[in-house]
Amino acid sequence: MTDLTRITLAQARDGLKARSFSATELTQAHLDAIEAAKALNAYVLVTPEKALDGAKAADARLAAGEAGPLEGIPLGIKDLFATEGVRTTACSRILENFVPSYESTVTAQLWRDGAVHLGKLNNDEFAMGSSNETSCFGPPVNPWRRTGSDTPLTAGGSSGGSSAAVAAGLALGATATDTGGSIRQPAAFTGTVGVKPTYGRCSRWGTVAFASSLDQAGTITRTVRDSAILLRSMAGFDPKDSTSVDRPVPDYEAAIGRSVKGLKIGIPKEYRLEGLSPEIDALWQRGADWLRDAGAEVVEVSLPHTSYALAAYYIVAPAEASSNLARYDGVRYGRRVPGKDIAELYENTRAEGFGREVKRRILIGTYVLSAGYYDAYYVKAQKIRTLIRRDFENVYAAGVDAILTPATPTPAFPIGQKVTSPIEMYLNDVFTVTVNMAGLPGIAVPAGLGGEGLPLGLQLIGRPFDEETLFALGEAIEQAAGRLDAPQWWG
């Protein structure tokens, strides 16, 4: 039999329907692969019993002809999504023993559609990071290595467990979240597809909050089609999230294979950064050529406020984080460190419970929101956000259908390389962060291997709620670039 962990989600779905293999066989193959891949540290909790129970129920529904759209598909869940009765930590010591009594809307919809829960995936603590090194469980390891080297590389962050698991065949797909690039950057680093949908497309309810005006749930999968299938189940209106958008979810998979002929693709000149590596520049050029060959028209566009996005982000995101993370007080849930009074209990609990990067961001956020500085920092950053969004609106109003950029300024880097410099780490998000600031959808698609033998990704940015055009264009790139599979060295 073919290796059931190396097929695509779409192939698995079709194979299950045709009864070529059972959901139990498919799930067991993934549990075995997870067991053999402990060195990757992709999962922080495996739920084999839950997975096999789910697979058994899926087999029954498949036999009865009552299969849901994801019936029997084994998935990994980022440890930021609350899962009922299954420990959910956000990879923080402060939540080390938290077992939710409720299920996040996104995961509830996956189970509704028949998916099988393999376990919880590693991420940066509270999704704050770009290399997954802030996790209290330690970083996951990228299944990809440089040619001729065994130096462990980052799988990206914050959704590094999701990207590592999908690239290594430890799940057919994974949920992820993206606040500044946390889906698209790890996808680019691992040769996988990452989709950050439009703000409001997926419910935030039951997902551990980082920066509420930027956070959005999305997918990491091995193909564009797989992301389209998965997103359809995850997306949709939820009255429990006040910024959830009430509009129908299209059949995203129908956009796969749709012609891109005549679409207008913008190349933003401000993304051509000084010092951009020639390899990334050539990749970008090649991506534009592929889309041109597929019949799209490629034009240069201008997004003049691009260079301010990262700085504005590093005001808005920490400000919202400092407010959201105020709830971790050692009283209602999570770790508690005693003190002589309640103030000292709070201070001790938070000092011991939060890691360095999280504390740094809470402090920055507290500072920019403090009396006398609110207007100078937070309000100013929100004004710049208006300008960033306006840049995109102008480009789309001029007839551009989507924007093509590199996904990241570099391929995956060694674990430990950038932890000492927060600013250098923040620069990872330079191509992705504008998308969150403007609330737009974005997709990262593998576009080939670079000189070191590592995957490189391209990013497409779409109009609000036009994920379908991104799926059509993303698949055109995928067709031209070919799929990437990490050579197996683990297990």
Partner 1 sequence: MAVDDNTVRRIAHLARIRVTDEEVPHLRSELNAILDFVAQLDQVDVSGVEPMTSVLPMDLRQREDKVTDGGYADRIVANAPQSEDNYFVVPKVVE
Helix (H) or strand (E) holding 131: none
The contact mask relative to partner 1 for 427-446 (x = CB under 8 A, - = no) is ------------x-------
| Identified binder of partner 1 from the candidate list 354, 396, 413, 471, rule CB under 8 A | 354
Query: To the nearest whole angstrom, how small is the minimum distance from the Cβ of residue 86 to partner 1?
Result: 13
State whether residue 459 is helix, strand or coil: strand
* Contacting range for partner 1; rule: CB under 8 A; set: 11-19, 59-67, 70-78, 366-374: 366-374
What does each C-alpha distance from 305 to 211, 267, 275, 453 come to in angstroms?
Answer: 21, 15, 19, 34
Determine the 3-state secondary structure of 292 from DSSP. helix
295 binds partner 1 (CB under 8 A): no
Among candidate residues 72, 33, 405, 12, the one with its CA nearest the CA of residue 225? 12
CA distance linking residue 95 with residue 314, whole number of Å:
24
Structure tokens at 220: 């990491």
**Which is the catalytic residue, given 104, 131, 135, 158?**
158
Q: Which of 64, 101, 248, 274 binds partner 1 (CB under 8 A)?
A: 101
Give the tokens for residue 442: 């974005």
- Residue 78 is among the residues annotated as catalytic for this protein: yes
**CA nearest neighbour of 318 among 96, 129, 95:** 129
Q: Name every residue whose Cβ is closer than 8 Å to that of residue 382 and which is 6 or more positions away in sequence.
A: 316
Tell me the CA distances in angstroms from 315 to 59, 132, 395, 430, 466, one per residue in order.
49, 21, 26, 15, 28
Nearer residue to partner 1 within complex by CB, 178 or 478? 178
The residue from 61, 308, 452, 480 that contacts partner 1 (CB under 8 A) is: 308
Q: Contacting partner 1 (CB under 8 A), which of 422, 449, 452, 453?
A: 422
Please tell me the distance from the alpha carbon of residue 158 to that of residue 134, in angstroms, as a whole number: 9
Pick the closer one to partner 1 by CB: 21 or 333. 333
State yes or no: is 158 an active-site residue: yes
Kindly name the residue from 104, 131, 159, 182 that is annotated as catalytic. 182
Is the omega angle on the peptide bond into residue 158 within 30 degrees of 0, that is, cis?
Answer: yes
Q: Could you write out the DSSP letters of every residue in 369-420?
A: HSTTTHIIIIIHHHHHHHHHHHHHHHHHHTT--EEEEES-SSS--BTTSSTT
Question: Is residue 211 close enough to count as binding partner 1 by CB under 8 A?
Answer: no
Which residues inside 229-288 make contact with partner 1, applying CB under 8 A?
A: 239, 242-243, 245
Q: Does 8 bind partner 1 (CB under 8 A)?
A: no
Task: Decide: 61 and 71 in contact? Cβ < 8 Å.
Answer: yes
Among 39, 254, 282, 376, the residue binding partner 1 under the rule CB under 8 A is 376
DSSP 3-state of 297: strand
By the rule CB under 8 A, 379 interacts with partner 1: yes
Q: Check 78, 120, 196, 418 and give the catalytic one.
A: 78
In the sheet that holds 74-78, the strands lie side by side as 43-46, 116-121, 74-78, 173-178, 216-221, 193-196, 442-449, 455-462, 402-406, 264-268, 297-301
Size of the site for partner 1 (CB under 8 A): 69
- Interface with partner 1 includes 99 (CB under 8 A)? yes
| Residue with smaller CB distance to partner 1, 146 or 336 | 336
Token duo for residue 436: 């969150």
Residue 98 interacts with partner 1 (CB under 8 A): yes or no: yes
Contacting range for partner 1; rule: CB under 8 A; set: 151-159, 174-182, 330-338, 472-480 = 330-338
On whether the CB atoms of residues 177 and 127 are closer than 8 A, the answer is: yes
Q: Is the peptide bond before 162 cis (omega within 30 degrees of 0)?
A: no
- Does position 385 interact with partner 1 (CB under 8 A)? The reply is yes
Give the number of other Cβ atoms within 10 Å of residue 420's Cβ: 8
Pattern 150-169, partner 1, x by CB under 8 A: --------------------
Q: Is 302 a catalytic residue?
A: no
Cβ 432 to partner 1 shortest distance, Å: 16
Stretch that binds partner 1, among 186-194, 202-210, 350-358, 472-480 (CB under 8 A): 350-358
> CB-wise, 329 or 485, nearer to partner 1?
329
- Residues interacting with partner 1, by CB under 8 A? 97-99, 101, 198-200, 213, 239, 242-243, 245, 305, 307-308, 311-312, 314-315, 322, 326, 329-336, 338-348, 350-351, 354, 359-360, 362-364, 366-367, 370, 373, 376-377, 379-387, 389, 422-423, 426, 439, 464
Give catalytic residues, as residue numbers. 78, 158, 182
